[in-house]
Every structure is written in C-alpha cells, then in structure tokens.
Structure 1
Amino acid sequence: MKQPWQTAWPERISYGLSDAADNLVFQMMTTYLLFFYTDVYGLSASAAAILFVVARLADVVESLLIGIMIDHTHSRYGKSRPFFLWYALPYVIFAMLTFVTPNFGATGKLAWAYVTYLGLGFFYTAVNLPITSILPTMSKNEHELTLLGVIRQFFGSSVQIIVAVFTLPLVAFFGHGNQQLGFLLTIILFGIISLALIWNTFFQVRERFSQPERAHQSLSEVWGMLKKNQPWIVISVVILLYWLTTAIKNQTTIYYFKYLIHNENLVPIVNGFTFAALVGVVLIVRASRRIGKKRTMLTGILVAASGQLILASGAELQNLPLIFGGTLINSVGNGLIIGLVSIMIADTIRFGMSMGIQAEGILASTDDFGVNVGLGLGGLVTAGLFHLSGYTANHAQNVATQHMITLNYAWLPLALYVVMFVILLFYNETRLLAAINDQK
C-alpha cells in the first residue's frame, strides 16, 4: 500500500535550511581555510598539512562518538533533533574563533590554529550529522524521503555556491585591503545567519518513526549489523572519495588562478559556474524514479568526470572558456552525486532496521566521516605536495609547483571520479529495496 506523506512545506524548508546553515561555515573551511592559513594567517604549507592530518584523525573519532551519542540520547525531543539546540551556539563561536588572527609568536599562532580548528571540527559534526540521521525518522514514504533529501541538498548547494562566489568580494568589502579583518567579519556574518537557521530547524522538524525496541542497541549488536550492511559500506567509500575529490580541487582553485593565471579575482567567476549543481540536484527526483538511485548517481559521476576532463584540458592550455565550461558540466554531475548521499544513507539505515537494529546515529556518521576524512586527506595531499614542490606563499612559483597546482586542480580529481564509479558498481540496490519493502 502506498504510504501517505507526513511532512508539510514549512518543515521541509526548515529541514533543508539546516544544511544551508552548516554550509555557510563549511564552505569557508573547504575552499578558503588552507589559503587563509598559508597566505593570510602566516602558517607554512607543511604546518597546515600536519594540522589537517591531526584534525582529520580527530574527526574519525568524533564522527563515531557523535553517532553513538545520538543513538544513546533519550529526550522528549527525540534522538537527533536536540543536537541542533545544544550545539549550534558553540559551533558558531568556534567558526568565528578559527578566523581570528591573534598577534602571537609562531608557536602561539600554531597552537591557536589547532585549538580553534579542532573545536570547529567537533561542533560541525555535532550539528551536521543529525541532519542525516533524522531523515529516515521523518517519514516512511520512499518518495517523500527523496524529496526531503533533494530539498536539503538544493539549499546546501545554493549556499555553497553563494559562499564560493561572494566570500572574496565580502572579504575585500569588509577588510578594505586587510584580509585578516575581512575574513573575520565575513565569518561573523555567516555565523550569525547559521545560528538562526540551525535553531529554526530544531523548532520546526519532528522525529515521527522511531522503534524503541530497536533504537538503543549495544555496540556489539550494531557492529554485527554494520558488517552485513554492504550498501552502507559501499556508499561510505563513495562519500569519502567524493569529498577527497572536492577538497583537492576546491582548495587548489585559488592557487591556480593566483599563481598560474595571475588573477585571483577570477575565482568568484569560476565558482559561479558551480551554480549548475542545482540542475543536477533538481533532476534527482525524476531520474531516481525512472532508473533508480544507483544508476542516477553513476550517471552523475560520468557527467562530472566528463566536465573534469574538459576542465583539465583548459587548465593545461590556460584556456578560460574550457575551464568555465568544464566547471559547469562537472557541477551538474556533482549535483546528482551529492544530492543522493543523504537519501542513500537513509536507505542503508532502513536496511539496518530490516535486520532489527535502528542505529541511525552510527550509520549516518559515515557522511560526516567521509566529509572530514576526505577534506583532511585533500588538505594533506594539497599542502603536502605544495611543500615538496617548494611552494612559497605570495611569491612567483617555480615550475615544479606550477605543475603540482595543475595536477591537483585538474588531473587528480579526474582519476578519483573513475575510482568512485568502479566502487559504486558494487552497491546492491536490489537487495536493499527488497529488504526495506518486506518491513512494510
């Protein structure tokens, strides 16, 4: 029997705005934090690389810890929902502190970066992971869950684009040539908006479908389910590879245009073409109904890889039309990929429930785990290769560094799309849907 729809538009919009709120800060971290550390704050590329490694090792633990905390939360608000209330304010405070530039010595500046960035990583996980874990509890309707996931990604991608396009102009506007002040005032603006949106999500969304007898199982029982949840394992690897790809390319964009094109003012323009990701996100509802979620994501990877190949050709030739066109096509594919992530994780949570375990916290932690580890490895790869090639901030770069920048911006992401496609072929969607439907 067809399931009725349980959510109304105010709740759907509020759910989607939660991802918009997180991305106001998250996109700043993804795209500009490495540049901020090396060219504004004054850390060396090697020090930044080590910081990213340490932070990502911490995030591995944090993702699992927050997932366990969600699965063991007993409150009148539910398991996931109260995290929006409890952790939004410290998340925003640490976001602002991360872009403060105290007048310390080299050791003090590095210590400040560690404390603020590690704190930001923990609280980001605390407010972002519940967005994924709460989804399968909001409705039992397959198409409604897809719609909610698409709305979430539409708002999240929209804000990613807004931040990517307008951050540097805002930094210039607020700073009047002082990038330290400009970055700080920009993150304060983003943080205030983020706080309001996260708290709005808490007040508007509801957890409707939780099964108490399955909701608080022991870790040993959950671990047994995880080992049998093959779709969850596959999508976890895909998520990690996607964010690794995104981090490597996004973090290198500003370096490519600053040191190879010699015009960093083009960064907001090229990032503007990522608006096409919204096209991919909107296509998900119809495409997933017709060909299924797995084939829709595979199509997205092919489209993204095709765009990346065009971009790579443009990067080698320093041809802006090719770079812009490749970015546009790549972004459509990325929209199809990332728009399906939370939806497919929700399916793996429901698949786990078919095995008698409702562990939405731990299963959803794979999303933040993939984001954090992918970003960390991306930062390590980028900063580490720059260091090995002799990168020097705010100076003309040697030939080896120029080649390394092009490699990171163009060719490594293309290779990772190929690996991503192969891994996703092992996702057993038929078995997953059969198990879910047998529960109804």
Structure 2
Amino acid sequence: MTLTKEQFKNQKIGTGEKLAYGVSNVGGNLVYATISSFATIYYTDSVGIAAATVGTMMILARIFDAFSDIAMGTIIDRTHKKSGQAKPWFVWSIIPLVISLILVFILPASWGNTAKVVYMYVTYIWSAVFCFTANSLSAVSMQSLMTGSKNGRMGLNASYQIFGFITIILVNMITSNVAAKIGWAKLSVVYAILATICLVITAVVCKERKHLIIEEQNEECKQRTISIKEGVSYLLKNRYVIIVLVLSILNYITIGGFNSGGVYYATYIYNNPALFGLMTLAGMLPTILLSSLIPALGKKFSKRNVLAAGYLLQGAGYLIIQFEGTVLPVMILGLVIKGAGLAAVAGLLIPMIGDVIEYEEKKSGVRLDGMMNAIATCGIKVGTGLGLAMVGWLLQFGGYIQRAEVQSASTISMIKLMVGGIPAICGFLGFLLAIKFDIERVEK
C-alpha cells in the first residue's frame, strides 16, 4: 500500500483507531501517574528515605532525561521499519515499562539507608529515563506519523488526553486505599497487568502511514540521516521549539507539584488522605468535559489565543488555592478553574508541535518528528521532575517529620506553596510566553 503526500495530508482517522490510540495513555499513566503521584510519599513514609534525598534524586533523573529524550528522538528519526518509525519502539518498550513499575514499589523498608537510596536511584531512573522515555516519546511521535491532517492530529490528541486524564483521576482516587489494603507491591503488579493490556491494544490497532508515502520510499530519502549535533542545531535555531519546551516545563511543574504535593495537602491540611481523590476529580473533570471543544475553539479563535487563555486560567485557579485553599469548597473552585485552563493547554500544546515540525520542514527541508516530539516529552519530564523535586525540597525546608500526625506551621506553609503559589507563578509565566507562539500567523 502506498499514499501520495496529498492523501497523507488528508488522512482521516477512524473512531476505533482514535480510541485505541487514547488507550495507550491509560497504559502509560497506570505507570506514570502512579509513580508521579505516589512515589514520593511511598519513599518518605513507607520506606523511610529523607524527603530532600528523594527530591534530589527526582531532579537528577530529569537531567538524565534531557539527554535520553534527544537520543530517543534521534533513534526514531533514523528508524525505517515496515511498521514505521515510532511504532517499533512503542512495541519494544511495553514489557520493560510495566516491569519497571513493579521494581519501583518493591523496595524493602528493612534495608539499610544506603542500600535503599541506591535501589531507589537505579529503579526510578531505569523507569523514568529509559522505559518511560521510549514508550511516551514513541506514542506521542506516532500522532504526526499516523496522519498529516491537523484536525486528525488534534482528534488523536484529544482521545489521548481524555483517556489520560480519566486514568489520572482513577489512579489518584483509588491508589491510596488499595495500597493500604493489599500493599504497594501487589498493587503495582495489578497496575502492570492492566497497563500491558492497554498498550498491546494500541500496538495492534494503530498504524503509522507517513512511511507509505511514495516519495518517502525513495531509497535516497531512506538513507539520509541527521546527526544528533545537526538535529540539535536545527532545534536551537527554531524559536518555536524553545517556546514549546519552556511551556511544557511550566505546565508540568504545576502538574508534578500538585499530584505529589496534593497527597500531603489532603493528609496534613484536611487530615483526610482520601480527599486527594476528590481534589483530583475537581481538577480533571472540567478538563475532560472541555477537551472535545478545544479543537473547535482553536480553529475559531486561533490556537495561540486559546493556549494563552489556558495558562491564564491555570494561574488564576492556583492563586485562589494558595490563599483560600484550606476551605474545601474554595479549593474545588480553584481546581475547576485550573482544570478548564488545562483543557486548553493539554489539547493544543502537543498538536502545535506538529505545526512546528511542518514549519521546520518548509523552512529547512528537514523533518524531525522524533527530535521535535522529544522536546515536548523532555519538557514534560523535566517539568514533572522539577515539580516532584520541589515537593521534596520544600518539605525538608519546612521541617517535615515522616509519619507524624501533625506537621509544623512552616511545613504547612511549604505544602500550600507547592500546591498553590508556585503553580500560579508558572501559569502566569506560561500566559506571557504563549502569546508569543504566533506560528499560525507566520505560516500564513
């Protein structure tokens, strides 16, 4: 089977394939959301590792991530298999990814501190830097390789984001209670099995098509490779790539900080860990409900304007949480506002990477699907790492006492800051940067 460039540009994606693609984010988040939301409190409260040690490990892992994303992006760009460029790596990553989840949550609390820290470093970095990088980057890269249609990419991304948000809600609502009943080790095995099923569904149903374009099958085109140095040079010369990177980092600092810090907020401010599930639901439900509207809003008001509005709403929502979040109804109001903003950010940021890929191809004649998407996933993981590290460092700075029933006033202030104040600053900075993302105007 072959396609022309025009056919690929207008390639429609069926409902079944969209749903199957979205399911990949269920599998990914059964691993990623579980580790992002619960690894910190697991390490500090169940295993007994100091919060600052955990925070430092989180940020070091993200430094390695910056290199692994670029390397993986280069590997994808150089791959030319019958099934495509990104899909082969997506398939390969499934088993290592789910095993890595189990390894993170089977650390014996009885070990000595040095052994526990070494094990934490090895298993966490293996999961985040290698396994999740290969899986998430290949999954995201598949969007621009499945169809050249901008509307098609937004449809795929909408499915991907909605399934991901639903999974995050469920993971954050049930994980603490289930872990308390069956233990972290058994819970990780259950999640690993479910994740495997979801990821296999995506691997079986979803198909890349860009390599089927007649021009792409030219042998000279196949053999042309871009070195990492040359690829990075193209990336650094494209200001929209830098904007995507920073926007992604800012967005995921807020997500990482809230997902990890929110557990402490519910535990030590509301004195009810189960309320973290309600907090997650309040923040994610508006995102899910509004996600299907974002493509139409982006088309009507421009993607840049809707993206900027999304960051502004996030900043406003988190600002409310910082000052009045201790009152649960006000916390929910702030989360609803930030959730509405997140719908715009999550719904547009990744599809706009496809626009950047095509912009670079028109400008320089070089198409870098893997490396361009690596910038976004690098931003996701660096931002998440900074958010998680922030939680560990602020807890240590505030004098957090592991397993204490009541924390000091300084610790409570730090918990409020990681969940409200710092995410608010990131939201407002994102707004100022998003208004400069004028690629649609430049393309015209």
Q: TM-score, normalised by structure 2?
A: 0.91
Matched residue, 2:361: 353
Q: Which one-letter code corresponds to 1:323 in the other structure?
A: M
Q: Does 1:239 align with 2:248?
A: yes
Shift of residue 260, structure 1, vs aligned partner: 2.0
Determine which of 79, 90, 94 is the counterpart of 2:96.
90
Matched residue, 2:121: 114
Determine which of 245, 253, 259 is the counterpart of 2:262.
253
Shift of residue 290, structure 1, vs aligned partner: 0.5
C-alpha distance 270-220 of structure 1, shift in aligned 2 (>3 A): closer
- Give the percent of matched residue pairs that are identical in Structure 1 and Structure 2: 25
Shift of residue 72, structure 1, vs aligned partner: 1.6
Give 3-state SS (helix, strand or coil) of 2:292's partner.
helix
Matched residue, 1:165: 173
Structure 1 gaps, min length 5: 176-180, 435-440
1:39-438 pair list within 5 angstroms: 39-102=45-108, 103-121=110-128, 122-172=130-180, 174-175=181-182, 181=183, 183-210=184-211, 211=216, 213=221, 216-273=225-282, 274-315=284-325, 318-354=326-362, 355-395=364-404, 396-431=406-441, 433-434=443-444
Matched residue, 2:3: none
CA distance in 1 between counterparts of 2:322 and 2:152 reads 38
Cα pair 1:6 1:138 within 8 Å, conserved = no
Shift of residue 63, structure 1, vs aligned partner: 0.9
Structure 2 gaps, min length 5: 1-5
Shift of residue 70, structure 1, vs aligned partner: 0.8
Give a deviation string over 1:111-136, Cα, whole Å, max 9, x none: 11111101101100100001221211
Counting matched residue pairs gives 425
CA distance in 1 between counterparts of 2:228 and 2:104 reads 34
Deviates more, 1:209-218 or 1:46-55: 209-218
CA distance in 2 between counterparts of 1:192 and 1:340 reads 31
CA distance in 2 between counterparts of 1:322 and 1:431 reads 39
Deviates more, 1:377-386 or 1:212-221: 212-221
Structure 1 stretches of 4+ with a deviation exceeding 4 A read none
CA distance in 2 between counterparts of 1:188 and 1:139 reads 35
Shift of residue 408, structure 1, vs aligned partner: 1.3
Shift of residue 431, structure 1, vs aligned partner: 4.7
CA distance in 2 between counterparts of 1:79 and 1:151 reads 21
Determine which of 1, 5, 10 is the counterpart of 1:4.
10
Give 3-state SS (helix, strand or coil) of 2:164's partner.
helix
Alignment RMSD: 1.8
Cα pair 2:356 2:439 within 8 Å, conserved = no
Give 3-state SS (helix, strand or coil) of 1:261's partner.
coil
CA distance in 2 between counterparts of 1:104 and 1:406 reads 33
Q: Which one-letter code corresponds to 1:276 in the other structure?
A: P
Cα pair 2:173 2:274 within 8 Å, conserved = no
Cα pair 1:230 1:427 within 8 Å, conserved = no
CA distance in 2 between counterparts of 1:223 and 1:382 reads 31
CA distance in 2 between counterparts of 1:197 and 1:14 reads 8
